[in-house]
Amino acid sequence: MYKLIDGKAVSASVKESIRKELAELKETKGLTAGLAVIIVGEDPASKVYVRNKKLACEACGFESFEYALPADTTQEELLNLINKLNNDDKVDGILCQLPLPKHLDEKLVINNISPKKDVDAFHPENVGQIMIGDYNYLPCTPAGVMELIASTGVEISGKECVVVGRSNIVGKPMAMLLLHQSGTVTICHSRTKDLAECCRRADILVAAVGVPNLITGDMVKEGAVVIDVGMNRLDNGKLCGDVEFETAKEKASYITPVPGGVGPMTIAMLMKNTLTSAKTKLK
């Protein structure tokens, strides 16, 4: 019998812990924490994400600085704003909501955010630190997945871990975090010869490719922990993940729903990274 991993509940617990810690540090040491979020253009999904981040800041006691820029913002204007925020002591974290309009260079934007304020952990310096296991920040979605796995009580050490997807934002860092906890990790992708066979070996299966219902129940090992990072909208308007939930739940010991699984954790871990950055002001 499977157990549902409630991302909303785990996320609420993480945010409450952050709120309490910041409140105590504010009272004893005068610490404040601030997150700046930049959004360029009118992408509806990005607007929802930004609104949710603002609500999370309020819940945690952070200051929230929102910069909504028009779609025709130039590269120079955007980089000037980032430079200003890099030098603003009230801002502990800087997040530039992706995707950006096509005329803007995402790589250049990421590289210009100070690694000390890069709470998304996308800057090459932070990515390198994750590789060697000596990091200040973790990418929010993989870090959230690790919290969800921890909430099950399942130990990662020695387990067969399969990550489906090799993106820089989720797949690659996800594999590294599992490896840091002594999991035996396989990364699958579009060129993997026998995806089903690889998945069937997994004690811990993380799907992060953005393909609706790619992982079916016959691809899941009996008793596996199944984490579905995917968020896809079907033609009928319904949301679904990369895992076919109804068939996979029959095999899984623990499984995340979509929505309400990994999604809430991403923002919770962003808050955690922002507090980590703010605390460096105490050193």
Q: Which helix (H) or strand (E) holds 124?
A: helix 124-132
Task: Supply the pLDDT for residue 208.
Answer: 98
How much is the pLDDT for 283? 80
What's the topology of domain 30-114? Rossmann fold (3.40.50)
Region 241-259: what's the mean pLDDT? 97
Whether 135 contacts 272, CB under 8 Å = no
Cα dihedral sign for 217, 239, 266, 117? positive
pLDDT for res 1: 87
Same fold? 30-114, 140-263: yes
Mean pLDDT of the chain: 96
The pLDDT value recorded for residue 130 is 96
Whole-angstrom Cα distance, residue 47 to residue 34? 19
Amino acid at residue number 207: A
Beta bridge partners of 93: 35
Mean pLDDT, residues 186-200 = 98
Q: Which two tokens stand for residue 266?
A: 């991403």
The model's pTM is 0.95
Is 228 among the catalytic positions?
no
pLDDT tops 90 at residue 171: yes
CATH number listed for the domain at residues 140-263: 3.40.50.720
Distance CA 153, CA 132 (A): 25
Mean pLDDT to the nearest integer, 127-142: 96
| Preceding peptide of 264 cis, ω within 30° | no
For the chain, domain boundaries: 30-114, 140-263
Percent of the residues in the chain that have a pLDDT greater than 90, as a whole number = 94
Nearest of 49, 139, 36, 140 to residue 94 by alpha carbon: 36
Q: Would you state the pLDDT for residue 176?
A: 97
Per annotation, catalytic residue among 92, 118, 120, 203: 120
User: Of 53, 159, 221, 272, which is the active-site residue?
Assistant: 53
Q: Which of 128-132, 140-144, 214-218, 232-236 has the lowest mean pLDDT?
A: 232-236
DSSP class of 217:
G
Question: In the numeric block, which tokens belong to residue 84?
Answer: 């200003």
Q: Quick check: 46 pLDDT over 90?
A: no
pLDDT at 43: 85
Please give the pLDDT value at position 184: 98
pLDDT of residue 44: 85
pLDDT class for 96, splitting at 50, 70, 90? very high
Average pLDDT over residues 46-54: 90
* 53 in active site: yes
120 is catalytic: yes
Q: Is the pLDDT of residue 132 over 90?
A: yes
- Read off the pLDDT of residues 226-240 as tens digits, 9 standing for 90 and up: 999 999 988 898 899
| pLDDT value of position 45 | 82
Task: Quick: pLDDT tens for 54-93.
Answer: 999 999 999 999 999 999 999 999 999 999 999 999 999 9
pLDDT at 49: 86
Contacts of 11 (CB under 8 A, 6+ apart): 144, 264, 265, 267, 268
Kindly name the residue from 97, 118, 221, 272 that is annotated as catalytic: 97
